[in-house]
Amino acid sequence: MGDIRGFLKVKRQSSGCRPKQERVKDYSEAAFLSSEESFQEQSSRCMDCGTPFCHWGCPLGNYMPEWNDLVFRGHWQKALQLLSARNNFPEITGRLCPALCEYACVLGINDDPVTIRENELALVEYGFSHGLISARPAKKRSGKKIAVVGSGPAGLACADQLNQAGHKVVVFEKDEAIGGILRFGIPDFKLEKRVIDRRLEILKKEGIEFAPGVNAGIDFSARKLSKDFDALLLAAGCRVPRDLNIQGRQLKGIHFAMEYLTQSNRRLAGKVLSESEIISAKGKKVVVIGGGDTGADCVGTAHRQGAIGLMQIEIMPQPPLCRSREYPWPSYPLILKTSSSHEEGGLREWSVSTKKFIGENGRIKKLLCQKDGVEFQIEADLVILALGFLRPENNTLLEELKVEFDTKGNVKTSDFFITAKKGVFSCGDMRRGQSLVAWAIYEGRQAAQAIGQFLK
């Protein structure tokens, strides 16, 4: 390592976010990056430990100690090559990943871990700003064609790998633009869509063909897919939301989180809706049910839309502030996480179960809740259900392909991502259920390897 005592000299320093009073007025990214010099200094904290458990913590197996050392030495291009060898979209994981690697950092046993995620983001953004990342089309083509259904991180990662291997790849997306949940489900204050578009331009120049607005199975039949392509990958995600079927659920003003977030993103992108279609928190008392990341995204969106009151409730108890015995190092712990959205305001309540929605003139007005056996009411003009997802949508394509499903309703595959239909593969949330972006990219890469073997 460049400085074997760096972790003793330098304390962890995160980049942080823009001031709260400033960022809630727009949808630009809340977080900002420090200077290159700062990240070089933070990279020096990597310990050159004998067994780097950050590799173990990361689904992608990133070479963190190696590229951290190269960043510290100022060898940004070599560092970028190592980073790109394991991660197709570090500009995405650097913004969205919960940094499983940092919780497995050896330095984290008795000190603050290395800022691995921020270093990763600084590295890839350095690469873009200095012209180190550009299109590199495959020099040789195999003559094989693969269809990828779904343009989220799993589908895009698989398409990228297969294209680099020389195969022709066409990515089908039923929505009007490419990106899947990255484009429509993640708010701009966490991931500006220019970041996705920048990468897509490179993928296009490298030869990947994108077909947005095409619903595979309807606009492009399963029979035609099987006929025109040598292999087919299903990576359409896990989109069926978990509902809360209690009295009053039919009242107006109660919406699923993805319904709320996707509309917000589309409106921000310029889509015009009628007044009756708009789901807005402006001037309303908002309750978000569900304490996860999606719920936090709804909180941040409601702040920016002008909510006058905001509460996020969760049925589970409040997690501890630090590791418990149930989650020892280097496992990813269940601890209290406070996002930039939570810092912007609103209340968070734990161990709260919702018993009944109470309305007036057909619209939601109150929630009847219970905590520790005591019932109470919460006023609400808008309720967002952020309770996670159950399974993929059972659409025409899956029916016609006659794929099998596991006990949870996900597409069933072998260990090599092969479905019950020959030549048809599946990966990502559609196969494993709702998960993290790093796992999606990993699944896409592994599925690409399996498809490559099949094509041989």
What residue ranges define each of the domains in the chain, with the CATH number in brackets? 6-129 (1.10.1060.10), 145-239+390-455 (3.50.50.60), 243-387 (3.50.50.60)
pLDDT reading at 4 higher than 90: no
3 state SS of 309: strand
Predicted TM-score (pTM) of the model is 0.96
pLDDT for 50 equals 85
Task: Give the pairing type, strands 347-349 and 240-241.
Answer: unpaired
pLDDT for 283 equals 98
pLDDT digits (tens, 9 = 90+) for 185-207: 999 999 999 999 999 999 999 99
pLDDT digits (tens, 9 = 90+) for 263-279: 999 999 999 999 999 99
Q: In whole angstroms, give the CA distance from residue 30 to residue 113.
A: 22
| End-to-end Cα separation, the chain, in angstroms | 41
Q: Residue 50 CB: number of other CB atoms within 10 A?
A: 6
pLDDT digits (tens, 9 = 90+) for 413-425: 999 999 999 999 9
Structure tokens at 93: 């994981």
Confidence of residue 48 (pLDDT cuts 50, 70, 90): confident
Contacting residues for 414 by C-beta, under 8 A, at least 6 apart: none
3 state SS of 233: strand
pLDDT reading at 3 higher than 80: no
Structure tokens at 61: 């197996």
Q: State CA 452 to chain mean position distance.
A: 26
Enter the DSSP assignment of 78: H
Decide if 337 contacts 371 (C-beta within 8 A). no
Per DSSP (E only), the strands in 201-284 are 209-212, 231-234, 240-241, 254-256
Question: What CA–CA distances, in Å, run from 124 to 41, 49, 115, 193?
Answer: 17, 24, 15, 16
Burial class of 393 by CB neighbour count within 10 A (0 to 12, 13 to 18, 19+): middle
